[in-house]
Amino acid sequence: MKPDLRKALKLYLVTDPVLHRGRGVEATCEEALKAGVRFVQLRDKNASTRSLYDSALALRNLCNKYSSYFVVNDRIDIAMAVKADGVHLGQSDMPADVARAIMGSEAIIGVSVRTVDEAEKAKADGADYIAANLVFSTETKKDIKEPLGLEMVSTLSRASSLPMIAIGGINPENTALVINAGCAGVAVVTAVMNSDSPALQVERFLRVLNC
């Protein structure tokens, strides 16, 4: 049985096709899942449809093995093809209400937001959670110039009743700051995917998050 969604969102792993120290995405994710991650998002902006499908299928099976949630970034077709739990959408992707109509009431839909209006719209459109997009500077988010900062994160958390996760430059040292600013959890990429030991990094995060 998968955990409560809000609990699973406490530590949310986003994959990267390059940052895995040569272990490969699947092996890195398995280390993280063994250590306690219960939510994984497949993100690969440049993969072909077939390659993304193959990766999604492998990760869906892996997440099922560990009773963890699995969503696909952007690609509703891939998410549905592999029977993922849902999809994560950016502001330039398909609107959340359209995704909901296509995927059904059981699908988990997350939306990246940077403004109060976007947070309110995500709620109105039927999203299950929101992500404060780029809290701190990071090399994995090159399309956004300015980080939100903690004050804006706090504003966004007050603007929506949906659970909100923080993404962008998150590490064990600053996790408590975003939780105190109102986030339900943190989304991590480099800090786990590119770590010498993904399992040890997950354990560090979970200690801060009291999981």
Enzyme catalytic residues: 43, 112, 141
d(CA 82, CA 68): 15
Beta-carbon count within 10 A of 91 CB: 14
Helices 198-209 and 25-35 pack at an angle, to 10 degrees, of: 40
- Are 113 and 131 within 8 A, CB to CB? yes
Look at residues 7, 15, 36, 43 and name the one whose alpha carbon lies nearest to residue 129: 7
Angstrom distance (rounded) from CA 2 to CA 8? 8
